[in-house]
């Protein structure tokens, strides 16, 4: 469960988030849409507890796995193997449980051939694949995704989509940012449209995307 009340975050003289309140129930998915600078990534970082609001409060109940900036939580000079342990520990997984899941994580990511190479030698797609694989294998109650699934090849994107569907079917909570209308519609429950840190509309995916498309060209 996620609950945000009168949330505000200020950067200098600019409010990235302004008086935003919402609640996401267990098992529900909430998509966030909006242009660049709308406050989407700031909102996700507040829910993931990577930053603190200047006003209001955020209540999150359950284990959270967040895929925000590509490679955040990874150390470029450590190997893929070492980063699996590092990132999993940051997401709250014990060393023992990480060892039990390690082979499954690597197999899903498809980077097994390079798992003992430094992450700085990985492509952006390989970093995303490994990060996503770790995040979904820590068995979170809440999964937070900020557009990173647009990086990588189509076959892996399809695997990610299927894994997210399994996540939803298991009654987990999903909070994500996407500029892909079809993804928003498929993972439908509710959609939130942000503009300059303020709520323009919250409702069904079709309702919100229709309103949003009147202000910006959608694919």
CATH number, residue 185: 3.40.50.300
Does the residue 197 lie in any domain?
yes
Does the residue 201 lie in any domain?
yes
- Other beta carbons less than 10 A from residue 129's beta carbon: 24
The residues with which 60 forms a beta bridge, in sequence order, are: 2
* Residue range(s) defining the domain that contains residue 198: 1-62+177-219
Closest CA to 69 of 155, 163, 146: 146
Q: How many domains does the chain have?
A: 1
Average pLDDT over residues 26-33: 92
Does the residue 135 lie in any domain?
no
pLDDT above 70: residue 29: yes
Does the residue 183 lie in any domain?
yes
The overall average pLDDT reported for the chain is 87
Does the residue 11 lie in any domain?
yes
Give pTM, 2 decimals.
0.81
pLDDT attached to residue 150: 60
Buried b (16+ CB within 10 A) or exposed e, 185-213: eebebbbbbbbebebbbbeebeebbeebe
Closest CA to 65 of 157, 180, 176: 176
Does the residue 214 lie in any domain?
yes
Does the residue 124 lie in any domain?
no
Does the residue 58 lie in any domain?
yes
Triad 184, 190, 172: Cα angle to 5°: 85
- pLDDT tens for each residue of 55-106: 899 999 988 888 887 667 799 999 999 999 999 998 888 899 999 999 999 9
Contacts 24+ apart (CB under 8 A), 115-118: 115/79, 115/80, 115/81, 115/84, 116/79, 116/80, 116/81, 117/79, 117/80, 118/76, 118/77, 118/78, 118/79
């Amino acid at each position: 469960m996620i609950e945000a009340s009168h949330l505000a975050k200020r950067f200098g003289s600019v409010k990235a988030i302004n008086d935003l309140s919402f609640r996401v129930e267990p098992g529900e998915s909430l998509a966030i849409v909006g242009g660049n600078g709308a406050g989407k990534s700031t909102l996700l970082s507040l829910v993931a507890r990577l930053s603190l609001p200047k006003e209001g409060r955020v209540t999150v109940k359950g284990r959270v796995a967040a895929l925000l900036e590509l490679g955040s939580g990874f150390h470029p000079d450590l190997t893929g193997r070492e980063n699996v342990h590092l990132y999993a520990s940051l997401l709250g997984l014990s060393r023992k449980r990480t060892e039990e899941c390690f082979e499954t994580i690597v197999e899903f990511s498809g980077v097994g051939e390079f798992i003992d190479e430094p992450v700085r030698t990985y492509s952006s797609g390989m970093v995303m694949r490994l990060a996503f694989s770790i995040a979904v294998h820590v068995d979170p109650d809440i999964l937070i995704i900020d557009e990173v699934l647009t990086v990588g090849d189509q076959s892996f994107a399809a695997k990610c989509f299927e894994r997210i569907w399994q996540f939803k079917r298991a009654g987990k909570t999903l909070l994500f940012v996407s500029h892909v209308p079809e993804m928003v519609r498929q993972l439908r429950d509710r959609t939130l449209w942000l503009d300059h840190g303020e709520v323009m509309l919250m409702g069904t995916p079709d309702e919100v995307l229709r309103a949003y498309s009147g202000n910006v060209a959608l694919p």
